Amino acid sequence: AREEEEKKEGLIEFYDSFKDMFEFFCKNTTIHGTIRLVCSDSNRMKTAFWTLLLLASFGMLYWQFALMFSQYWAYPVVLTMSMHSEPKMFPAITICNLDPYRFELVSEHLVQLDRMAEESITFLYGINTSASLLHVNEKSIHVKDLSNIGNLSRSSFKLSQNFSLVRMSDRSNRSEKMHSETVGFRLCNATGGNCFYKTYSTGMDAILEWYRFHYMNIMSQLPVIINISDHEEQIEDMVYSCQYDGEPCRPSDYVHFHHPVFGSCYTFNSKGTDSFWTATKPGIPYGLSLILRAEQKDHIPLLSTVAGVKVMIHNHNQTPFLEHEGFDIRPGIATTIGIQQDEVNRLGGNYGKCTTDGSDVNVKLLYNNSYTLQACMHSWFQHIMVRKCGCGYYYYPLPPGAEYCDYNKQPAWGHCFYQLYNRLRNHHLNCFDQCPKPCRESLYKVSVGTAKWPSAKSQDWIRQALRHQNGYNSTSNRRDIAKVTIFYQQLNYQAVNESPLLSENLLLSSMGSQWSLWFGSSVLSVVEMFELLIDTLVLSLLFCYQRFRAKKTLKVAHTPTVPS
């Protein structure tokens, strides 16, 4: 009896058969339903029923496991929205006067271009626009220290006559009632073949694009690096009054730069590090209030047809792309712009493609500010432009060693550029694959209100005050000044965060719930299953070894003895 008790309490148990092992497991396991396989062994119908039921439960369990793992490996996300309220930094504000510099080096070519534009408009529509287009007597900006830049003589560049504007019938509309004309100019490759017309449905759009095309070729004659500080305008020439939170703006609050289309620009609070720009209260009195010069007499009429000032609200240390996100302030109007901030946080990694600071992006940024989607896409397009067309697009920075496009040097660059641009618009350049979104970014929603300013009753004394303080000498009625106020509507902001829909903890919890649903057991039951598998493997090896020994013994026993 003592030997039998020691046998039952042994650390390692060896069963006489698989049946004994299976009966022991069914009687002692914590998995529900298995004991029915043993208790009903005298009734084969019940045994078969419970066997099928357990197998079906196992099948449903692992089917659910497969669904959960397929969902987990799809890496879905869920958006959670939360509201926060705290003092925060005022955004960066960029304003431009829509009056680009007429550099002395290219001023004669710009005058020639104005004459060509006048002739083209006369040819197309039979109207004379010389009084409004020509700007022969305008002051030009002189670029200093050009002796080390090379041969930049004015006679080396000639405006091309190969891109004349023409009117064409739109053959796509076969109906006589829908008959229309298009206006455009012809572009060909380097061999003079594969030509196409860059056409527009309205002559206005065609003339503007034709003018910009020639304008880029003219401006490419300028040196790549120009010291704007040599001829930098004073901010008082554009901004008559500047106040933030009731305090006058300081010289350190803005930086100046020049844009080839939007002219002289100023960015307020560009770095976002000065506590002066911390917003502690919402409302119009606590925002940025500007009175701006919005004169039109110096505008290049075919480069910008908008009267007023260009304004853009953006994040700190970011390049403002006014052609995409800027909006216009009308002269003679007081514009109030209320802003509401949203913050977006993306997961990245397996859950989506995004970048923290752009260091892991394959595109080399051509802008010196922080990473943005627009900066990456413009840089990617410029790299492709230089590689495919042999020169760079004038409105974007250049990669090292490249030069801006000039149809005197690269006659077919326009043909190459417009084909690339069409591919960009049709999403064939894989820009979004190369340029992921930032993992964290702030977005600004704006609401705008306008009113005439100054009013008829107050315009006289306001003009006198501006004339006395800023040398304001205009006599027009509200056509050369504008007022804009930018403020936080409220300091609370909405944060949109991505989080995994099925994390590791939630996956394990769901698996445990499914296991409990189908078998009413726990993690220890899973250990019992592994123990059963190990016992089955050990018992199989033991039986195989016993059979091998038995065959070997039997073979030795039947070996005939050799008589001596």
pLDDT of amino acid 504: 87
Pairing of strands 492-500, 333-345: parallel
Instruction: Give the pLDDT score at 410.
Output: 92
CB contact at 8 A, 453 and 100: no
Q: Would you state the pLDDT for residue 420?
A: 93
Q: Which fold has domain 78-101+228-347+450-500?
A: Acid-sensing ion channels like fold (2.60.470)
Residue ranges of the alpha helices (H) in 17-156?
Answer: 18-28, 35-39, 44-73, 107-125, 130-133
- For the chain, list residues with pLDDT below 50: 1-3, 5-7, 9-11, 136-138, 145-154, 177-178, 564
pTM for the structure as a whole: 0.78
Least Cα distance to 180 among 200, 197, 206 occurs for 200
pLDDT the model gives residue 13 = 59
Read off the tokens for 192.
Answer: 């003079």
CA distance 497 to 483: 37
Give the residue from 375, 412, 383, 468 showing the smallest Cα distance to 193.
412
| pLDDT for res 334 | 93
Map tokens 């959960």 to a residue.
68
**For the chain, what are the domain ranges?**
13-75+503-557, 78-101+228-347+450-500, 107-219, 348-438
Write out the two tokens for 470.
Answer: 């800023």
For the chain, how many helices (H) and strands (E)?
14, 20
Q: pLDDT (tens digit, 9 = 90+) per residue, 235-285?
A: 888 898 999 999 999 988 999 988 888 988 999 999 999 999 999 899 999
Report helix, strand or coil for 535.
helix
End-to-end CA distance of the chain: 51
- Class of the 348-438 domain? mainly alpha
DSSP-derived letter for residue 282 is -
